[in-house]
Structure 1
Amino acid sequence: MSCARARAAAILAAVAATGLPFDGQQRHGFSYSVAQAEGQNEAPAGNGKSASEPTLAPVTLSPQRMQSIGVKTGVVEFRPVDDEIRTVGNVEADETRLADVEVRFAGWIQKVYANAMYKVVRQGQPVLTIYSPELVTAEQDYLVAKELLAQGTGPGKHGGWQSLLDASAERLRRLQIPDREIARLKKSGKIRREIEIDSPASGFIIERKAFPNMYVQPGMKLYSVADLSTVWVHAQVFQNDIGRVKVGDPASITVDSYPGQTFPARVSFIWPEVDMATRTAKVRLEIPNPEIKLSLGMFANVHLAVPLGRQLVIPASGMYRSGTRQIAFVDHGDGYFEPRDIETGARAGDDFIVLKGLKAGERVATSANFLLDSESQLQAAMGAFAPPPPGAGAAAAMNAPQVTLEYSSTPSPPRSGSNNFRVKLTGADGAAITGAQVTVTFFMAAMAAMGMAAMRNVATLSEKGGGIYEGPGEVQTGGTWQVTVLAAKAGQTIAQKQFSVTVEGGM
């Protein structure tokens, strides 16, 4: 009985802190039935509810009160759901559209036509000329074979000279001499001291190592040419999201250079490696770039659309976290709201996928959930004991001794996760206050911009003797929390302290 009274006192303080007046029977639009609350207490607590978490009861609001506290509702429905993963990346060249300009013989560069980075070249366009003694020798051998073929007599000799000529031409081709140069050599019979080297592909020169009078060797890369009509973006996706991404999924990117414009993309590859430092994996996107608006190195905002099929969803603001529980206040009409434990899955935009606890067509509260939660706990607690006679509470308050409340935590300040809380109660005469019920409540308001619902954790402390009360409590995340420490005895609040504390640890 004393625990129920303490819980009621704690909830009364929470409701008072929110500005909801309470007069014992009618609370400016809030009404309750003791018998109804007792019946609710006898019902199962719901999925995921532990014995230490508060019991909830249905609440009834008048239309005026619903309007004054801003209660809004949304519908639970089936619809096609696309989850969205937002991340970043950089524009890179499509590696399948890169081509290198190389030579297969040694020589000296004479003229350089492609003399600047990012110059546009076309396939077959000369980019430089080169003088090579090896190449001159190969051309001489070709002309000798051609002359011997012309002078040869008899079928046998003719066939031999033709084979020699064909071998000389094949040698020139293996040295990557253009066919037009071989045709010129065959027609004119004159050796050209310098030969032109062509670009093997169309695109932009993104790497240049060719300069006049430079000596080159076989296999040396002189240029890299990139076709930028299609580009890549490697998006950094956290490992807890990577399992939802598949090759072929649609995506899009935006860049600051073209505000308001979206570039469609497609997932073409997922790296089988996670970066140990950032815990992210690379997801390669393929993006058409016909107008060459996307430049190499551009920073891109990436939006990955992950199809989840047809799912039952609830508005994100309709799911309220209370400790380890997920609660929805189901609207049955006429201001009657039923608190129900639910289980949700992945977030999809402004919705959560519903796994348990709700069905299509039901309406849930999407605002003022904290006030509904406080009132629901109050009604459940009030159903556990009969109200004191009129005036008893006021008299007790006037006769209650002045109590000093000292609060501390280990660690200090608290960290996200498990903590230990300690409260010391002493009277005006310095004597220890025993037999009290002490609770420590942590509350964080909803942060819509971050997609976080309101959070509330309550720790009930145990008496250790000498006015000392201790107990463990969980704090879900780091950040700034509003803390209420409340001590009650015989159903009467004897001490209360409210303050803010910054909890260490990650979100």
Structure 2
Amino acid sequence: MSSPIWKVAVIVGCSIALGGAGGYWLARARIGDVAPVAAGPGSPGEAKALYWYDPMYPQQKFDQPGKSPFMDMPLVPRYADGQGESAALRIDPGLTQNLGVRLATVSRAGFAASVEVTGRLAFNEREVAVIQSRTAGFVEGVQARAPGDVLEANAALAEILVPEWAAAQEEFLALKRSGDAGLLAAARQRLRLSGMPPGLIAQVERSGKVQPTLTLTSPIGGVLQELNVRQGMTVAAGETLARVNGLGQVWLAVAVPESQAGSIVAGQDAEARLPAFPGEVFKGRVSAILPEANADSRTLRVRVELPNPQGRLRPGMTAEVSLRRSTRQSLLWVPSEAVIRTGRRALVMLAEDAGRYRPVEVRTGPDSDGKTAILQGLEEGQQVVSSGQFLLDSEASLKGLVAAPLDRPAATAAAHETVLHETALHEAEGQILALDSQEVTLAHGPFKTLGMPGMTMTFLLANPGLMQGLKVGDKVRVAVTTTDSGLQVERLEKMEGQP
């Protein structure tokens, strides 16, 4: 009874296995269908081979058939089609959706730079009131104030008795009663030159009474930073008694990495988000880019001004800051996920007619809002694969479809130098282990912008002049760019404090 059941199970299992294998190879054939196409009239047997390659190492091309020097297998021919070496990977349109392939159109738009950094609030050093004694006197009373108090404008601080003012005011009142306008004007001027505020002079003239006591007040609202006056003390003319910092506007001190500082200009917009006020956005502008960079952190200090009409923003608070700048420069953009970065170059899978796809090398620019600028390699209106591109790229590599190297004319590089300046350089610190006119070996720390850990590595030098003044053992700061030949040193500077 069990024998027939066992036979049926074996037959069903074999059928499923054969069906699954057949389906896999059928789909494999339909995905990777790059069939030879005759270069001219004739049968398929007359197709012309462009070159031969090893599917396990498709970057290497051979002029003649034979055995692969890399693997124990024969070389595979790559045939020409109507477009010469632009042979493309063909996919059955019916499989496109099943493979999750999505396309995106290359579009042109303006360039908007955005730098995300952190900052800390500080006092606005331009909004400072220094309160001094205009004449010698004695402190008769002090208000209950202390450094750190938040004051309103015209808040009283202390009362100072000025004995010499009493005689001058008596003379002024006597001349007023005499009715001589000329003498009265001269007496008023003497009161002003003695240090008496215009408001106190007006009070004396209006009341007809001597007012020898001066009340010190804060001319602006803000934080009391200093209070150097105590009851009973003697004060001299010109002595600083108090200092007040205004809170109507605060400064946001931001440290911008040196590699991104080129995209920051004075006057551009800034947005700050503070943990103390979740969900709120405080808008300001960049008021100054300070001239000196921090040598230890390689950052540039940027000052952002934030209005503070309600006084909620207090110095010492931290903030996440977005520095945004839009320009009229028009660039080509593709979704960032469409770009395949190999470490040495960037590729996209270009979609052509009739389900054809081929790898194309591109020159990338800055990233912004999930998109990457394309400076060279694509044209507006073309379509690229934004999902499923890694599957297609792997299949293309197995078929020997390698993107041709991108031509990089000097004129194009110069035209986009400003855009690439801040995105092409990657910095780290290290020590020179070996050095010649062409390359340098460094024991370097991590390149954070590359996600590359510290290690010992040999780099190409962009020009022999970079080695001038350097020797083995020097500690240096290195800036590299990614090229087709690997990482190339663009700047090599000896760190400060070395002989």
Q: What TM-score results when the alignment is normalised by the length of structure 1? A: 0.61
Q: CA deviation at 1:416?
A: 7.4
Question: Does the alignment pair 1:367 with 2:380?
Answer: no
CA 1:67–1:151: 2 relative to 1, 3 Å: closer
Q: Does the CA contact (< 8 Å) of 1:411 and 1:419 recur in 2?
A: no
Letter in structure 1 aligned against 2:267: G
Q: Which runs of 5 or more residues in structure 2 are unaligned?
A: 1-22, 40-46, 52-58, 62-84, 403-441, 445-452, 461-481, 489-499
C-alpha distance 56-324 of structure 1, shift in aligned 2 (>3 A): farther
Q: Please state if 1:347 is matched with 2:367.
A: yes
Instruction: Quote how far apart the aligned CAs of 1:329 are.
Output: 0.7
What residue number does 2:103 align with?
73
Q: CA deviation at 1:364?
A: 0.9
Match of 1:239 in 2: 258
Question: 1:404 matched to which residue of 2?
Answer: none
Q: 1:95 to 1:237 in 2, by over 3 A?
A: same
What is the distance in 1 between the residues matched to 2:362 and 2:108?
Answer: 16
1-structure distance, mates of 2:487, 2:49: 28
Give the partner amino acid of 1:33: A
Work out the CA distance in 2 between the residues paired with 1:56 and 1:411: 42
Check conservation: 1:123, 1:199, Cα contact below 8 A: yes
Among 174, 199, 209, the residue aligned to 1:147: 174
Q: Which letter maps to 1:195?
A: L
For residue 247 of structure 1, report the CA deviation from its aligned partner: 2.0
Change (3 A) 1:210 1:72: farther
Distance 1:308 1:167 in 2: 58
**Counterpart for residue 133 of structure 2:** 103
Is the alpha carbon distance of 1:229 and 1:161 closer, same or farther for their aligned partners in structure 2, counting shifts above 3 Å?
A: closer
CA spacing shift, 1:67–1:94, aligned 2, 3 Å: same
Residue 398 (structure 2) aligns with = 378
Cα drift, residue 330 of structure 1: 0.8
Residue 138 (1) aligns with residue 165 (2): yes
CA distance in structure 2 between the aligned counterparts of 1:203 and 1:142, rounded to whole angstroms: 34
Kindly tell me: are residues 40 and 357 of structure 1, through their superposed partners in 2, closer, same or farther at Cα, counting changes over 3 Å?
farther
Q: Secondary structure at the residue paired with 2:305?
A: strand
| Residues 1:279 and 1:219: Cα distance change in structure 2 (over 3 Å) | farther
Give the drift of 1:79: 2.1
C-alpha contact (below 8 Å) 1:270/1:284 kept by paired residues: yes
Query: Secondary structure at 2:455's aligned position in 1?
Result: coil
In structure 2, give the amino acid aligned to 1:141.
A
Q: 1:416 to 1:63 in 2, by over 3 A?
A: farther
Q: Say whether the 8 Å CA contact 1:209–1:223 is kept in structure 2.
A: yes
Q: How far has the Cα of 1:193 moved from its partner?
A: 5.2
Aligned to 1:282: 301
In 2, Cα distance between the equivalents of 1:320 and 1:98?
A: 54
Correspondence list, 1:461-500, <5 A: 474=486
Q: Per-residue deviation at 1:87? A: 0.6
Give the drift of 1:77.
Answer: 0.3
> Matched residue of 2:295: which SS?
coil
Cα deviation, residue 304, structure 1: 0.9
CA RMSD of aligned residues (A): 4.1
SS state at 2:394 partner: helix
Q: Distance in 2 between matches of 1:374 and 1:63?
A: 19
Counterpart for residue 280 of structure 2: 261
Aligned CA distance change for structure 1 residues 375 and 41 (closer, same or farther; 3 Å): farther
1:31 has 2:33 as partner: yes
Equivalent in the alignment of 1:227: 246
What letter matches 1:264 in structure 2? K
CA gap 1:70/1:40 in 2 versus in 1, 3 angstroms: farther
Aligned to 1:486: none
> How far off is 1:254 after superposition?
0.5
Provide the rounded CA distance (Å) in 2 between the counterparts of 1:350 and 1:365. 15
For the residue of structure 2 that corresponds to 1:31, the secondary structure is: coil
Gaps of at least 5 residues in structure 1 are: 1-20, 43-49, 153-157, 383-409, 421-454, 458-472, 477-507
Distance apart, 1:36 and its partner CA:
8.6
Aligned to 2:455: 415
**Partner residue of 1:316?**
336
Q: Distance in 1 between matches of 2:93 and 2:228?
A: 78
Superposed CA deviations along residues 454-477 of structure 1, whole A, max 9, x for unmatched, are x999xxxxxxxxxxxxxxx9579x
Which shifted more, 226-235 or 355-364?
226-235
Residue 159 of structure 1 and its aligned partner are, at CA, apart by: 8.0
* 196-205 vs 296-305, greater mean Cα deviation: 196-205
Given that residues 57 and 377 in structure 1 are in contact (C-alpha distance below 8 angstroms), is that contact kept between their aligned partners in structure 2?
no
How far apart in 2 are the matches of 1:376 and 1:115?
77
Contact 1:136 1:191 in 2 (8 A): no
Instruction: Provide the C-alpha distance between the structure 1 equivalents of 2:133 and 2:159, rounded to a whole number of angstroms.
Output: 11
TM-score in terms of structure 2 length: 0.62
Amino acid in structure 1 at the alignment position of 2:224: I
Distance 1:170 1:108, change over 3 A: closer
Give the Cα–Cα distance (whole angstroms) in 2 for the partners of residues 379 and 361 of structure 1.
27
Mapped to 1, the partners of 2:135 and 2:50 lie a distance apart of 91
- Cα distance change, pair 127–142 in 1 and its aligned pair in 2 (3 A): same
Map of 2:114 onto structure 1: 84
Alignment of 1:393-472 (within 5 A): 415=455, 418=458
Letter in 1 for 2:191: A
Instruction: State whether residues 149 and 165 of structure 1, in contact with CA within 8 Å, keep that contact through their aligned partners in structure 2.
Output: no
Take 1:39 and 1:86, find their aligned partners in 2: how far apart are those partners? 54
Rounded to whole Å, the distance in 2 between the matches of 1:414 and 1:265 is 38
Q: 1:198 maps to what in 2? A: 217
Separation of aligned partners in 2, 1:181 and 1:51: 94
Is the alpha carbon distance of 1:364 and 1:258 closer, same or farther for their aligned partners in structure 2, counting shifts above 3 Å?
same
User: Using CA pairs below 8 Å that are at least 6 residues apart, which structure has the higher relative contact order?
Assistant: 1
Structure 1 residue 367 displacement after superposition: 3.0
**Which amino acid in 1 is paired with 2:31?**
G
Report the residue type matching 1:362 in the other structure: Q
Contact 1:416 1:474 in 2 (8 A): no
Cα deviations by residue, 1:428-455 (Å, 9 ceiling, x for unpaired) = xxxxxxxxxxxxxxxxxxxxxxxxxxx9
